[in-house]
Amino acid sequence: MKEVSTSGIGMTSARTRARMVERLRAAGVQDPIVLAAMNAVPRHIFVDEAIASRAYEDSALPIGSGQTISAPYTVARMVELLRAGKKLGKVLEVGTGCGYQATVLSRIAREVYSVERIGQLLEKTRARLWPLKIRNLRLKHTDGSLGLPEAAPYDGIIVAAAATSIPPALLDQLAPGGRLVIPVGVQEQQLVVVERHEEGFTETVMEPARFVPLLEDMA
């Protein structure tokens, strides 16, 4: 990723980001690779300038089109579960949003595909990511509940919106040994990890979660 100039002072500085990483560690995120990526990506450039000073708080923030950027802990925790301490090859993210998590993933996985159903939001994100020149990230405007068959199978699939049930297409597109991290549920959501084995899948329910809904079809 190309370095972008960031205002080196105040609430958007590297020091503020380092403090965010310390809080993530204190909250239980252990994977050093994930913590390093969270430390490297300037989260404040993914939100509007008016709220950039809040970018390192542990909260979700509005990103337009009625959507939110996930809280730092949520991103770190999900990516930690996706990695499970192993190197990641090809990864699919469903729900690009502002592109923050996709950028974090691009530092951890060899190849990242990220899909978003809201065209207008994706265009804004494309423009934001362009100056970062991230070579291993591909974005696509499509309904991610169908996965992205053209680049399947994936070693990891991470879903940033809550599904009412696990979309079968995502299971189909998981490589053997691959992992799917997805929030599931309507009123009460749980973070679920599905692992694909040579024969079949194992499903582990992790912790409560709160995400915007995974909607079918495009906008």
Active site residues: 70
**Residue 70 interacts with ligand SAH (CB under 6 A): yes or no:** yes
**Residue 212 interacts with ligand SAH (CB under 6 A): yes or no:** yes
Candidates 40, 51, 166, 215; binder of ligand SAH (CB under 6 A) is 215
By CB under 6 A, the residues from 149 to 188 that bind ligand SAH are 160-161
Return d(Cα 142, Cα 146) in angstroms, integer.
Answer: 9
CB 100 within 8 A of CB 69: yes
Nearer to ligand SAH, 177 or 208 (CB): 208
By CB under 6 A, the residues from 78 to 97 that bind ligand SAH are 94-95, 97
Return d(Cα 9, Cα 16) in angstroms, integer.
Answer: 9
Residue 153 phi/psi, 5-degree rounding, is: -85, 160
- Alpha carbon 210 to its chain's center: 14
Give the x-and-dash track for 3-42 against ligand SAH (CB under 6 A): ----------------------------------------
CB 211 within 8 A of CB 189: yes
Candidates 12, 106, 145, 189; binder of ligand SAH (CB under 6 A) is 145
Residue 102 phi/psi, 5-degree rounding, is: -60, -40
Among residues 67, 47, 57, 7, the alpha carbon closest in space to that of 219 is found at: 67
| Minimum distance, C-beta of residue 128 to ligand SAH, in the bound complex (Å) | 11
Binding residue count for ligand SAH, defined by CB under 6 A: 25
Nearer to ligand SAH, 166 or 215 (CB): 215
User: Could you say which DSSP state residue 70 is in?
Assistant: P
In the three-class reduction of DSSP (H, G, I as helix; E, B as strand; rest coil), residue 151 is classed as helix
By CB under 6 A, the residues from 115 to 144 that bind ligand SAH are 115-118, 121, 143-144
**Residue 191 interacts with ligand SAH (CB under 6 A): yes or no:** no
Return d(Cα 145, Cα 172) in angstroms, integer.
Answer: 12
The region of 13-21, 61-69, 180-188, 192-200 touching ligand SAH under the rule CB under 6 A is: 61-69
- Alpha carbon 66 to its chain's center: 17
User: Which residues sit at the interface with ligand SAH, rule CB under 6 A?
Assistant: 63, 67-70, 94-95, 97-98, 100-101, 115-118, 121, 143-145, 160-161, 212, 214-216
